[in-house]
Structure 1
């Protein structure tokens, strides 16, 4: 299998040495903003590696163009390796007239000879079911987080939607887990977060886990609630750290430590995604 990598993911593709020859996709941006790619000669099976964030719209167009070129070149099997899949937060129709963006994205990819998509920590795992023909391998670095959260007493998710992440990390650590529920004061309107099942946080080292850190609002609210409830220390492990606006300052003001992956390059990236993705790619070969 040939390993075909975009420039922004060559550090990831370097982890795949020995699985196949690593080749680079040529990329161009024209003065009017249009993009173009050129693929080198490849065999019948290709692993295509790229980061879709940042510049998600341009990068997605580049991905589609590369897939079309591979299809025209007669490639019969493509494994797409993209550690972060954008648009998956729109996993259902929240208001009439809106698209289900994650379904639309996967349907486009499903029109090409992709046999599998290898990715990390989809916002909602069920979006993989939108295109049954494509096997979506949704990986979660629970073991890698647990190795860096030694000594934590409780793992918490900011809401019920992330409780499966908390459960996975807690299992790897051998500790309990829970999630926060929102409660609104009927008189003041103030919102408070409390752990489900009356799990005690006082005096405990707490780890908050989530999939995406964008502006940091959700994570900081959970951190402050944990400290209000008496947590001795609060850590966080977040897979895709966008760190937009003043997110860095906000999380530093509350968290004792933030752990991210390098699915999106950032200064908190302690967990390298390359070895995780390689293990799954080896299973697919």
Structure 2
């Protein structure tokens, strides 16, 4: 592939990491991008092997890799980014609908590390820009606090609100803990629905307690909204609080469907419905985020090369 002619936009190439092929296909057509082909495998001794088959010289390249189970994905992802760069890509971006390690945002005990910062350092060295969805920003206020590259954080709230308006009559939105307040408040504002946030005490990843359920007007349907559903224990505790108060089973909505161990089956048994966005492939995916992702990725592709270099230098 030759470098793009003066005045012509460079070719766009999307490369999917294993498991992200469907997401890359959803994005490719509206982005007018070619789907690249790469091999990502392992040698018998466990070392990662990648080979980029699609020529990328002069192209704008983006790798699609949602970062659940990040320890399995990170090294081959970095090798693939290096392969694209060594192949002459104009820029190499990362489309990571779920961004890992953002919850490890502080040191609580001696000997721990602020993993969010160090994970960002790994990605900073390999990519020119990053697009993600609702990163868990709590003690880290902005992605730019740890990521040196240009970043875009797509908000799932409008799509979640649209789903609620289409499927839930008279919703009463509930954030199962204080950290969920930012998401539930935004969704409730779009829906023009009442809302509340509960207080949580976490004893361990698998043992949490939440405050008593709020007073919910008659005929309202409780809707639990959170960004990440991993063990599901926070939502399960909130659902149990609602049950004790005599309220109907809630609809449970999460942005990122991690669902460790038996979390999904337990949550299905304790709720009227379990719904997630399509940032991590899962049977609960019912809220599509393709359009806002395309908008954010387009802005990154169109960012002038000099401007992105200045942002990186700054």
Q: Normalised by the shorter chain, which TM-score bucket? A: 0.7 to 0.9
Does the C-alpha gap of structure 1 residues 183 and 243 become closer, same or farther in structure 2, counting only changes over 3 Å? closer
TM-score by length of 1: 0.88
Does the C-alpha gap of structure 1 residues 174 and 68 become closer, same or farther in structure 2, counting only changes over 3 Å? same
Cα offset, 1:228, TM superposition:
2.5
Cα offset, 1:201, TM superposition:
1.7
Equivalent residue of 2:85, what SS? helix
Does the C-alpha gap of structure 1 residues 223 and 164 become closer, same or farther in structure 2, counting only changes over 3 Å? same
Contact kept in structure 2, 1:7 and 1:25, CA below 8 Å: no
Q: Find the partner of 1:70 among 65, 70, 84.
A: 84
Q: Structure 1 CA distance, aligned partners of 2:142 and 2:48?
A: 28
Q: Structure 2 CA distance, aligned partners of 1:182 and 1:131?
A: 27
Cα offset, 1:7, TM superposition:
3.4
Does the C-alpha gap of structure 1 residues 128 and 254 become closer, same or farther in structure 2, counting only changes over 3 Å? same
Uncovered stretches (5+) of structure 2, i.e. residues with no partner: 1-11, 203-207, 303-314
Equivalent residue of 1:91, what SS? coil
Residues 1:165 and 2:156 are matched in the alignment:
no
Deviations 1:3-36 (A, max 9, x none): 2222321211112225221112211211111111
Q: Structure 1 CA distance, aligned partners of 2:260 and 2:170?
A: 27
Q: Structure 2 CA distance, aligned partners of 1:233 and 1:202?
A: 14
Q: Find the partner of 2:171 among 129, 153, 171.
A: 153
Does the C-alpha gap of structure 1 residues 134 and 152 become closer, same or farther in structure 2, counting only changes over 3 Å? farther
Q: Structure 1 CA distance, aligned partners of 2:112 and 2:253?
A: 31
Q: Find the partner of 2:232 among 210, 216, 223.
A: 216
Query: What is the match of residue 46 of structure 1?
Result: 61
Q: Structure 2 CA distance, aligned partners of 1:143 and 1:149?
A: 10
Q: Find the partner of 2:46 among 33, 53, 64.
A: 33
Deviations 1:118-177 (A, max 9, x none): 111212263613335212212221122122223243211111111110011101211122
Does the C-alpha gap of structure 1 residues 31 and 178 become closer, same or farther in structure 2, counting only changes over 3 Å? same
Uncovered stretches (5+) of structure 1, i.e. residues with no partner: 185-189
Contact kept in structure 2, 1:2 and 1:20, CA below 8 Å: yes
Contact kept in structure 1, 2:209 and 2:234, CA below 8 Å: no
Query: What is the match of residue 133 of structure 1?
Result: 148
Cα offset, 1:233, TM superposition:
4.1
Equivalent residue of 1:163, what SS? helix
Q: Please, which moves more after superposition, 77-86 or 224-233?
A: 224-233
Cα offset, 1:194, TM superposition:
3.2
Q: Structure 2 CA distance, aligned partners of 1:250 and 1:127?
A: 33
Query: What is the match of residue 205 of structure 1?
Result: 221
Q: Find the partner of 1:174 among 187, 192, 196.
A: 192
Query: What is the match of residue 247 of structure 1?
Result: 263
Contact kept in structure 1, 2:104 and 2:114, CA below 8 Å: yes
Q: Structure 1 CA distance, aligned partners of 2:87 and 2:293?
A: 26
Contact kept in structure 1, 2:97 and 2:132, CA below 8 Å: yes
List structure 1 runs of 4+ shifted beyond 3 angstroms.
273-276
Deviations 1:201-247 (A, max 9, x none): 25331111112212211110011112323433411110111222221
Q: How many residues align?
A: 275
Contact kept in structure 1, 2:173 and 2:225, CA below 8 Å: yes
Residues 1:267 and 2:278 are matched in the alignment:
no
Query: What is the match of residue 234 of structure 1?
Result: 250
Q: CA RMSD in A?
A: 2.3
Query: What is the match of residue 187 of structure 1?
Result: none
